[in-house]
Structure 1
Amino acid sequence: MTTPGRRRWWDVDPAGFAVATVLAVVALTPSLIPRTGLVQGVVSGVAAALGYAGGVAVAWLLRRRAVRARARALVPARLARPGQEVASPVHRALAVAIPVVLVVAVVVAAHAQQRAAALVGTTPPTTTSFLLALPVMVLVPAVLVVLVRAARGLTARLARLMRRRVHLSRAAAVLGAVLLVLLVTAVADGAAARAAVVLAEHAFAARNDQPGTAAGPPTRATRSGSPASLVPWDTLGREGRRFVVGGRPAEQLALAGARRPVDPIRVYVGLESAPDPRQRAALAVAELERTGAFDRAVLALVTPTGTGSVDPPIPDSLELVHGGDTAMAALQYSYLPSALSFFLDLARAEETSRLLLGAVRARLDQLPPDRRPRLLVFGQSLGAQASQSVFDSIDDARARSDGVLWVGPPHASRLWQAQLARRAPTSPAVDPVVGGGREVRFAARPGEVAASPPSPWDPPRVLYLQHPSDPVVWWSPTLLWGRPDWLAEPPGDDRPAAMRWFPVVTFWQVTVDLPRAQTVPSGHGHRYGDLLVDAWAAVAPPPVWTADDTARARRVLVG
């Protein structure tokens, strides 16, 4: 028999249980990316665990403020069990009602997820399969609560053991102060951050050395890693090798373009190709010189994603539009996936973008204006954020390039945020109009990209591509405590109208959407392949280019 007043590890705090139930149900509401039953169970389960912790904390604070009697009248200290207080009829009713409410809420949520799936063209979950969310959302918080209680119990046991053996109170205070000083000092000088980057890069460097899909080095002199190249094949890394061997055959370039095709130039410099970012930028310029890139119609500088990846539709679409009369250069800046690079190593991505643009711009300025290729700047995802950091403003970007395309920019992108702040009051955040669209435009669908009347679009043109359903664009820590404009406005065409903002919960929902942003079909989430031909044709069209040419090139790209 349990001693009255002593809590067992399986006891449930009613205050925590009540708040956990509310947050679990709230987390059933749709967000940007449709969810399966399993994913929904994890989303609601973690939300319930957070709610349980919050409810327990609030109840504890109420008791600490000497209102225990009043708090018990509202929420008893714990559920009744043998030898203790008997649960009231209200609590017995809740014990029956809450499971029923959860079942009904999950069924309703299944229909909401089916509508969300229809918006982005994914296979909707069946109501039966979505019921998997129920056991998962119960199991996840239960496991988390048990683990936390176990850790707390272990800590208490260790503390009691140490108190028996040493006089710990003063020693612990001194030791804690010393550790705090060391920690603050390490963080202040960046040692902790640098150590984290080094450890993470060691973990991911092995993947960079894997051969990937490339069978061997290219034979064409227009590619880095070829026998004629200044950049050795074995220094390009997995993603660099994929980039330089890729591309569409000449017959597809001929079918898509309005000119006789030529062999496109692709330059890539890996992390192992030169010792530091400055030397890698210089090597890229030398490689562009060797390949004849400065004699092409278009020269595009690409800031890749964290691992150094350049999504194949990016170069393919530009080469289709210009019949291969292009050169494209990219520099690797990290081994880490974009999510880790964003938090641990964003500065190096920004430095690499700045050095490459500066080195290429300096070389172009040495050429007569009528002999320079059009200089285009491109970045997608983390690459878009790093690429934007090179410029002080849109005017600066237009002054130092001949066209800019930024795709799926993360919400933290400073230049992107500045444009949203400048948008016309009547235009929403998901489809902003800035300065009448004369310099910078935003698009989510092919029909929105075209540079057409009524308003002119003056070159050099800057274009952002952003889907209403892209969590990379809309995720921000501020979702924890404030409703953003994009959730206060009418939804875009692929965001569920039922999506609402809730403190903490919406932040968690969109966080879970992030790694799933590319699981949806192109045209939604973080997938922009269907827009790239239209985007390049709008930002930097070839001479005498028409809408029919764009449609033909798009058909070739998508097959």
Structure 2
Amino acid sequence: MGGTLVAVAFLCASLSPSLLPRPWTWQGVVAGLAAVLGYGLGSAISAVLRRIFGLIPSPRARRVAWRLLLAGGAMVALSVLWFSADWQREIRLSVGMDPNIVWFIPLIALVALATFTVLLALARAVRLGTRKLIALLGRFVPVLVAKVAGLAVAGFLVAVFASDVLFAGFVEVMNNTSSLANGSTSPGVHAPASSRLSGGPGSLVSWPSLGRTGRDLIGTTPTRRQLSTFAGRPAKEPIRVYVGLDSAPTMAEQVRLAVRELERTGAFDRPVLAVMGTTGSGWVDSDGADALEYMYAGDTAMVAMQYSYLPSWLSFVVDRTKAAEAGRALVTAVEARLATLPADARPRLLAFGESLGSYFVEQGFGGDLDDLLSATDGVLLAGPPNANPIWRSVVARRDPGSPEWRPAYQGGKQVVFGQTPNDLADVGRPGLVYLQNASDPVVWWNPSLIWRKPAWLTEPSGPDVAPAMRWYPVVTFWQVVVDLTIALSVPDGHGHRYGPNLVNGWAAVAAPPDWTPADTDRLRTLIQYR
């Protein structure tokens, strides 16, 4: 009975708002998962109360309690399920989406029931197997020893199966699938004709070795004509250097190849050189890359490298150390090459990273704020994962009274956080700008959501977070996990989409001397509607 009671409570909590609007199918899965977790927790609490404290209700009390629970639980669950449609409309309004949706309440209930049934059957199969194992061991050793040993063996086997079979198999499938995708090329993307771009004439890096995301970045570089039209003056061909995972056999050789390619293209003669942090698959947000080139009429150079085939979210789980190693290796090599130039002849060193790419950048500069600021002339990081070391340190030491979703740090002299263009207006020239949307699950996902209410929900909620969102133990964690899968399914400026706001970020940290707010508005329009 205790398991059913907590299961109903968890199911109802899972129907409450989270950061982003969910499809009805995902809502059903989340509800079923929450219910089975609640069932397990409630059953465990009931077992403790029975066996340790001897709290065993009478048969009559149990019958009455079950009737009340089944009737009351069904009414409460159906009522909350009905209200969940209004909550989803509220979330959609918060992130600038059409609130008119069809919310398939009966189908949500069926998906939730199916998910609950399957997961509960698996859990009971494990429990049955554990009991049989304990009974078998009990023939040879004392009962207490058999129980301890049986539980330990069962726990070990489940952990090994989950980690080495299910998860490892999933990672292998994803890696193979991503490797195949890495060999493909997006429609409309072609090898460049410019020698200033990796994969072009005279390049030390072959076009096929760039990988899909590398070819996307190189193959969509703005042309000199496009840059000139925007700038109103002759533009230069921008330099983009990219080294794919297949461009060299080891990371060290990738880095050496990247520096040689920078030298070949004349990157160290440009006024601006940007290190572009990549996600697991090697992706760089083209909005961030293009905005910098338009801002400087193409008189820029940028370098990026791929270190994995996996998508960003999976790479964050299994390849995070590779991101740190790649970031540090590339930054160290670029800094070493810059150190050979006269101080007055070095380009301004900028850095950009989005999502796991921001982790790449932070770790590339040693995970220390002072080192990052002293080594660079401007850094723009968007959608930083909660594990970013510099981000965590700055947010933890934010000025008193500033919320976690929009922290102020030392009055904004060196570090500024923003979500909207107004947040970045009149901020002077900080060394580091973080773009973070209050509704971005990438920023807020953390295992501690299981047991601790986060500060970003303790304080007044952010501008695009539904006011009705609440924290529930265990449940909110899984809600935000689901939000991660749909973080890009919302308009720019919400979720994990930063789009034209990257223009305002660059304008804050690295605008050229003659740049004006009107130029920022023109470039925002170009990036948003091209």
Shift of 1:66: 5.7
- Residues 467, 178 of structure 1: CA spacing in aligned structure 2 closer, same or farther, 3 A cutoff? closer
- Aligned partner of 2:239 among 265, 274, 288: 265
Shift of 1:271: 1.1
- Residues 512, 198 of structure 1: CA spacing in aligned structure 2 closer, same or farther, 3 A cutoff? closer
Counterpart residue number, 2:375: 400
Counterpart residue number, 1:120: 95
Contact preservation (8 Å) 1:258, 1:549? no
Counterpart residue number, 2:513: 543
Counterpart residue number, 2:358: 384
Shift of 1:258: 5.5
- Extract unaligned runs of 5+ from structure 2: none
Query: Counterpart of 2:28 in 1: which secondary structure?
Result: helix
What amino acid is the match of 2:330? Answer: L
Counterpart residue number, 2:456: 486
- Residues 274, 126 of structure 1: CA spacing in aligned structure 2 closer, same or farther, 3 A cutoff? closer
- Aligned partner of 2:436 among 466, 478, 481: 466
Counterpart residue number, 1:342: 316
Contact preservation (8 Å) 2:280, 2:319? no
Q: Does 1:208 align with 2:182?
A: yes
Question: 1:281-329 CA distances to partner (integer Å, 9 max, x unpaired)?
Answer: 1111110111111122211111111111112212111111111111111
Question: 1:161-216 CA distances to partner (integer Å, 9 max, x unpaired)?
Answer: x789x97999x99x999999x99xx9xxx9xx999977864453222222333654
Contact preservation (8 Å) 1:468, 1:493? yes
- What is the rounded CA distance, in whole Å, between the counterparts of 1:243 and 1:33 in structure 2? 29
- What is the rounded CA distance, in whole Å, between the counterparts of 1:167 and 1:487 in structure 2? 53
Counterpart residue number, 2:489: 519
What amino acid is the match of 1:121? Answer: G
Counterpart residue number, 2:4: 17
Counterpart residue number, 1:8: none
Query: Counterpart of 1:231 in 2: which secondary structure?
Result: coil
Matches within 5 A, 1:251-400: 251-257=225-231, 259-389=233-363, 390-400=365-375
Flag the structure with larger Rg.
1
What is the TM-score when the length of structure 2 is the normalising length? 0.90
What amino acid is the match of 1:111? Answer: D
Mean alpha-carbon deviation: is it higher for 357-366 or for 400-409?
A: 357-366
- What is the rounded CA distance, in whole Å, between the counterparts of 2:384 and 2:263 in structure 1? 31
- Residues 140, 198 of structure 1: CA spacing in aligned structure 2 closer, same or farther, 3 A cutoff? closer
- Extract unaligned runs of 5+ from structure 1: 1-13, 77-86
Contact preservation (8 Å) 1:463, 1:535? yes
- What is the rounded CA distance, in whole Å, between the counterparts of 1:220 and 1:546 in structure 2? 30
- What is the rounded CA distance, in whole Å, between the counterparts of 2:102 and 2:409 in structure 1? 43
Matches within 5 A, 1:212-227: 212-213=186-187, 215-227=189-201
- What is the rounded CA distance, in whole Å, between the counterparts of 1:518 and 1:552 in structure 2? 25
Mean alpha-carbon deviation: is it higher for 388-397 or for 43-52?
A: 388-397
Shift of 1:362: 1.5
Counterpart residue number, 2:109: 134
Shift of 1:516: 0.8
Contact preservation (8 Å) 1:213, 1:242? no
- Residues 457, 67 of structure 1: CA spacing in aligned structure 2 closer, same or farther, 3 A cutoff? same
Counterpart residue number, 2:38: 51
Counterpart residue number, 1:98: 73
- Residues 511, 167 of structure 1: CA spacing in aligned structure 2 closer, same or farther, 3 A cutoff? same
Matches within 5 A, 1:447-466: 447-452=422-427, 456-457=428-429, 461-466=431-436
CA RMSD of aligned residues (A): 3.2
Query: Counterpart of 1:327 in 2: which secondary structure?
Result: strand
Question: 1:199-244 CA distances to partner (integer Å, 9 max, x unpaired)?
Answer: 8644532222223336542121011111310011121111111111
- What is the rounded CA distance, in whole Å, between the counterparts of 2:174 and 2:374 in structure 1? 37
- Residues 428, 107 of structure 1: CA spacing in aligned structure 2 closer, same or farther, 3 A cutoff? same
What is the TM-score when the length of structure 1 is the normalising length? 0.86
- What is the rounded CA distance, in whole Å, between the counterparts of 1:177 and 1:73 in structure 2? 34
Q: Does 1:554 align with 2:490?
A: no
Query: Counterpart of 1:69 in 2: which secondary structure?
Result: coil
What amino acid is the match of 1:384? Answer: S
Question: 1:121-170 CA distances to partner (integer Å, 9 max, x unpaired)?
Answer: 2233536534532222223212221232244445656887x789x97999
Shift of 1:359: 1.1
Contact preservation (8 Å) 1:37, 1:125? no
- Residues 194, 272 of structure 1: CA spacing in aligned structure 2 closer, same or farther, 3 A cutoff? farther
Counterpart residue number, 2:474: 504
Identity in percent: 43
Shift of 1:256: 2.8
Shift of 1:439: 0.6
Shift of 1:537: 1.5
Query: Counterpart of 1:426 in 2: which secondary structure?
Result: coil
Query: Counterpart of 2:507 in 1: which secondary structure?
Result: helix
Number of residue-to-residue matches in the alignment:
520
Contact preservation (8 Å) 2:137, 2:150? no
